[in-house]
Amino acid sequence: MRNIVKVTRRGQTTIPAEFRKRFGIKEGDELIWEHTEAGLLLKAFPKLEESAGIDAGFGRVEEIKRQVEKLREEY
């Protein structure tokens, strides 16, 4: 699948709708740009909710988010 997009003078571009739908990219999501030998690689930054399975027994995602926000406020 291939699309051509323009880059604005501010360095911005639009991710085509079909890619946003296919990869679940929504407004406000963070993306990772990587330089590879083949060129640029664009990946969706993993969300906390998607990583929660590793320590699922530790606590709920909502509680972990609250704790992280509390630590940010204290910092």
Residue 23 tokens read as 């990869």
Q: What are the φ and ψ backbone dihedral angles of 39, each rounded to 5 degrees?
A: 135, -150
State the pTM of this model.
0.57
Which fold, 1-44? Pemi-like Protein 1; Chain: D (2.10.260)
**Cα torsion angle, 52, 55, 59, 63, sign:** negative
Domain residue extents for the chain:
1-44, 47-75
Q: 15-71 pLDDT, tens per residue?
A: 999 999 998 899 989 899 999 999 999 988 877 666 656 666 666 777 778 888 888
Q: What are the φ and ψ backbone dihedral angles of 71, each rounded to 5 degrees?
A: -65, -35
Q: What is the Rg, in whole angstroms, of the alpha carbon atoms belonging to the chain?
A: 17
